[in-house]
Structure 1
Amino acid sequence: MKNSPISKIILEGRDFFVKRDDLIDPYLAGNKYRKLYTLLKTPSKTYDTLISYGGTQSNAMLAIAAMCKQKGWKFLYYTKTLSQTQRNQSEGNYAHALNLGMQHIEIQNEQYKDFISALRLNFNSKTCLVDQGGAVKDAKLGLAVLASEIKEQKESGTIAKDIFSLATPSGTGTTALFLALALPQYKIYTVPCIGDVEYLQEQMQALVNIPDNLVILQPKKKYHFAKPYKEFIDTYEKLLLGGIAFDLLYAPSMWQELLAQTDEKILYIHSGGVSGNESMLKRYSQKFRGAL
């Protein structure tokens, strides 16, 4: 794969640069491509089944489904019990993942935590488990490849020589963490999009110690993941006017805090996930009629 390109966007009078990892693949793109890089390079015959778990809005779920389709692996995905509306979705990440061959299994909410904890107990050598969001130590290799691309593009002048700050939003924090480790000369900004700062730090510390160059920005208020917010759709539309579509789950919070808490030149690592906008925009339209 060639290095993902660099774009420029102006937001509230500031110049930002964007590494377009969203253009790698329609489904298997962004930080999920980086996290799954090791598995993508794994010979297909190594496994016959991949198991993961999480929510039906998950970008990781869709990326894993696309990867398993390529590899010829069975993909089992566990979630808590869905509402009838979720089961009937005909668009968005869940519907796309099912079309790619994902086998979805619902677990009763009260049993879910214990069930997930016991998943590893009955594995054989042909089965691979990917934790929620792709939070695995093997993601380190894919982020090292991303770091190498950034260094190469900096040397070639594609990335301005005076940029020493990067930004990427966090679910589990895997991308920001390993990127910070691979690029100690850069400041890496991130925000917690699932849970608070303390939760994000716990997720990161479970993988490796947090380096000093990783800066977690505290959001101005507590947001519930995947819930529509007027300020999020406003930010999304400003970015879209600038020429780039970003996801509605992670990007708005990151961009809000970059505008509020930073002032230097920044390279934003596009996390992909725009395939989920199809269903999210429908929800925004229903909640804020006339706003879209």
Structure 2
Amino acid sequence: MHLFPAPFEPFRFEGRELYLKRDDLINPLFSGNKYRKLYALLQTPSDAIDTLVSYGGIQSNAMLSIAALSRLKGWRFEYTAKTAPHHLKTDPQGNYRQALALGMQLHEVHPTAYDAAINALKGRAEADERVRLIPQGGADPAAEAGVSVLAEAIRQWQAAQGIKCLNVVTPSGTGTTAAYLARALPECRIVTVAAVGDPAYLRRQIEALMPMPPNLTILSTPYRFGSLHDALLQTYEKLKAAGVAFDLIYAPVMWLALMEAWDELEGEVLYVHSGGVSGNETMLARYARRP
């Protein structure tokens, strides 16, 4: 699997000038914050473990990236998810199709048995040192290594550009990337949005990893996670027309919140592209099926 450079680029959107960190370009299957979260495992010797186990949504971007990593390392990958829709089983699409093609072993469980299945995964990983558990979305202390590499790249770029005051923007699911960026870049303001749940929920997720960083700003959004809204689709299309494709779940929510908060930000703005564009196939299909 070839890894490509992730440059810093100027970007103009809605009449505003900012910069992008193009982490989406690292690799189509292993990009953005998933590359950063899995960085430590990428450095792990192939013979150190033999199985990765994880859990989450059936079209998860993290699921696909773990499948790609496992194929690269020669590891078995087992993924636990709630029962897949019938139409997806008969006609696999999106991240689900690609992860299966990469060798993912899927374990479907009834929603009522899901929590018990996750607990069983945790117990298995604790009992067997050759089995590594990756929590949903990569929300794990091991993610700090890759985020620290990203933070150092940002620090060096900021110094080379002569930027004194920098706002680093990235959307949040679990908040892992944003929190570790905030800890690694205390001289910057990290701006994120609670794309899954409300700001209070995101704070609880972050505080499970570390004390809340004082330089982390959490914006709120009226949009429920994964829901379909014309404003989100239109923002995605505007971003694409401006020259860069973003994911359809997190990015439009982050960009709308960023535009609303723009006047409150002092200094330059750097948006870290989180990748995840492989999931757009199924999201666009959902929009197309709307009445």
TM-score (normalised: structure 1): 0.93
Q: Which runs of 5+ in 2 are unaligned?
A: none
Q: Which amino acid aligns with 1:238?
A: K
Which stretch has the larger CA shift, 120-129 or 81-90? 81-90
Over 3 Å counting, the alpha-carbon distance change for 1:28 and 1:199 in structure 2 is: same
Paired position in structure 2 for 1:270: 273
SS at match of 1:138: helix
1:11 Cα offset (Å)? 1.6
Measure the CA separation in 2 of the matches of 1:112 and 1:284. 28
Measure the CA separation in 2 of the matches of 1:200 and 1:153. 29
Over 3 Å counting, the alpha-carbon distance change for 1:141 and 1:203 in structure 2 is: same
Measure the CA separation in 2 of the matches of 1:8 and 1:258. 16
Residues 1-292 of structure 1 mapped to structure 2, 5 A cutoff? 4-123=6-125, 124-157=128-161, 161-219=163-221, 221=222, 223-263=223-263, 264=265, 265-287=268-290
1:136 Cα offset (Å)? 0.4
Q: Which amino acid aligns with 2:84?
A: L
1:88 Cα offset (Å)? 3.2
Q: Which amino acid aligns with 1:241?
A: A
Measure the CA separation in 2 of the matches of 1:88 and 1:214. 44
CA RMSD, 1 decimal:
1.4
Measure the CA separation in 2 of the matches of 1:68 and 1:197. 33
Deviations 1:216-260 (A, max 9, x none): 0011x1x33222211111000110111000000100000000000
Measure the CA separation in 2 of the matches of 1:120 and 1:257. 36
Measure the CA separation in 2 of the matches of 1:195 and 1:58. 17
Q: Which runs of 5+ in 1 are unaligned?
A: none
Measure the CA separation in 1 of the matches of 2:4 and 2:59. 29
Measure the CA separation in 2 of the matches of 1:199 and 1:88. 36
Paired-residue identity, %: 48
1:100 Cα offset (Å)? 0.8
Q: Does the aligned pair in 2 maintain the 1:163–1:267 contact within 8 Å? A: no
Measure the CA separation in 2 of the matches of 1:179 and 1:89. 39
1:121 Cα offset (Å)? 1.7
Measure the CA separation in 1 of the matches of 2:179 and 2:192. 9
Deviations 1:183-211 (A, max 9, x none): 00100011111111111111111110111
TM-score (normalised: structure 2): 0.94
SS at match of 2:81: strand
1:3 Cα offset (Å)? 5.3
Measure the CA separation in 1 of the matches of 2:5 and 2:74. 26
Measure the CA separation in 1 of the matches of 2:226 and 2:103. 24
Deviations 1:139-168 (A, max 9, x none): 1111110011111222333xx614510100
Measure the CA separation in 1 of the matches of 2:244 and 2:90. 30
SS at match of 2:200: helix
Measure the CA separation in 1 of the matches of 2:257 and 2:123. 41
Measure the CA separation in 2 of the matches of 1:228 and 1:270. 21
Over 3 Å counting, the alpha-carbon distance change for 1:89 and 1:273 in structure 2 is: farther
Q: Which amino acid aligns with 1:278?
A: E
Which stretch has the larger CA shift, 117-126 or 164-173? 117-126
Q: Does the aligned pair in 2 maintain the 1:22–1:272 contact within 8 Å? A: yes
Measure the CA separation in 2 of the matches of 1:2 and 1:243. 19
| Segments ≥4 residues shifted beyond 4 Å | none
Which stretch has the larger CA shift, 279-288 or 239-248? 279-288
Measure the CA separation in 2 of the matches of 1:130 and 1:218. 27
Measure the CA separation in 2 of the matches of 1:224 and 1:85. 24
Q: Which amino acid aligns with 2:172?
A: S
